Amino acid sequence: MTPSTHTVAGHWIGGETVTGSADTLPVVNPATGEVVAETPAGTAADVDRAVAAARAAFPAWSATTPQHRADVLRRLGAGLAARTEEIAQAITAEMGSPIGMSRTAQVAFPAAVVESVAGLADDFAWTEEVGNSLIVREPIGVVGAITPWNFPLQQIVSKLAPALLAGNTMVFKPSENAPLTARVLAEVAAEAGVPAGVFNVVYGTGTTVGEAISAHPDIDMISFTGSTRAGQRISSVAAATVKRVALELGGKGANIILDDADLPAAVERGLMMAFSNGGQVCGAWPRMLVPASRQDEVVALAVAAAKQYTVGDPGDETTRIGPMASETHRQKVVGYIERGIADGARLVFGGPQRPEGLTVGAYVQPTIFADVDPASAIAQEEIFGPVLTIIPYADEEEAVAIANGTLYGLTSGVFGEPEHALAIARRLRVGQVDVNAGHWNPLAPFGGYKQSGNGREFGRMGLEEFLETKSIQR
């Protein structure tokens, strides 16, 4: 293997590098197919050691004040911002996010999350009086965190920041496909004043390290982001020790465009929410629901806008869609495109063939289908790629029924006259709805209904996920 500055020498346990077994896992650049790094292949014994370090660090860390922990978090956020280019380059190399997006959404967003969480410390009700009772909110203990590859820094920061502010310690398993930012985060955390053992990183596969974390009797809580299938497995394994499990899982968001919407704005925003990060976003809107009488207008607008989504080298500043995160995932996305054609959906843009000139790498064409049956596979299952399905509806009752008609319930969008759109948004069985491209709010809770998971991230409710509640009668 060609030497790489990204290679990780060992796990991060108890504030130091710990060499595991001789076995390693390759990190493959999906744009080239080349191995750019390797990480240790962790074992259950590595998890045991990390849990012991976290358990030992818990009493002292949990005894610090929320204000002290908030100050540490602010330094952590500043440290991440200072290493933006290093982190962005690593994310682009390991999972193919276009470099522009890596610098912004992949790094700037997590830094903003840390700052917003730190700001909760002063006003949060750590204790309150209810009648003759003192209600005390305390850290839950040792948290096991398991995250996916699509937003490798954001996903862990969204867990680490509230977990640390609450006074917990953590054992973290990053995705084996995108593990490189985990070491940078550990270094920044140590420099920010996170004591040894409070944050530990064990690299490895889900079947080995993920299972060991989920089952471990000395881990008090699991916080997981990933597929619904993996979340089901984690819940099953964790049930044996009755630990708390917070899950942020898959999605199949609907973008409902009402007849009184600003059609060009709704289509442009909807396409961005379907194609951003190559469609590899749990909160994406891969379904665009449109009045049947206006489908042709929507298709024309969507196709015109899709032509602006250049596919290519993720290191190129002009690229808007890089490769899929792996060759295996590319084949999955292509399989869904082929399934859509076979099931009779009307292909209006893209297709299963490789993008022109890109014979190497995990690239797919951004693809749009029209006249999509809402019960079809491409309208029901999470493709996790740049595939937009345009679904016509006869009236608003049908639009709401279609939007709610999947096993997921994470995000959706509604475009139309503001009060009209708000009334439709209230009827959607999802955890977050954007009305007319409403701005993201880091203090608002994020999470899903149905098989999109349970629990919430961000803001006060995200902090509460990592706390136990004690009632003291006096």
Give me the phi and psi of 259, to 5 degrees please. -65, -25
* Among candidate residues 429, 469, 473, 472, the one with its CA nearest the CA of residue 449: 429
Upper half-sphere CA count for residue 114 (Cβ side, 13 Å): 27
Could you give the CA distance from residue 251 to residue 227 in angstroms, rounded to a whole number? Answer: 9
DSSP state of 395: S
Torsion over CA: 237, 243, 249, 254 (sign)? positive
* Among candidate residues 223, 260, 170, 229, the one with its CA nearest the CA of residue 384: 229
Could you give the CA distance from residue 91 to residue 152 in angstroms, rounded to a whole number? Answer: 7
Strand order in the sheet with 287-291: 346-349, 367-370, 387-393, 287-291, 254-257, 411-415, 432-435
Torsion over CA: 363, 101, 444, 133 (sign)? positive
Q: Are strands 244-248 and 453-454 parallel, antiparallel or unpaired?
A: antiparallel
Q: Are strands 199-201 and 221-225 parallel, antiparallel or unpaired?
A: unpaired
Q: What residues are annotated to the active site? A: 248, 282
Three-state secondary structure call for residue 393: strand
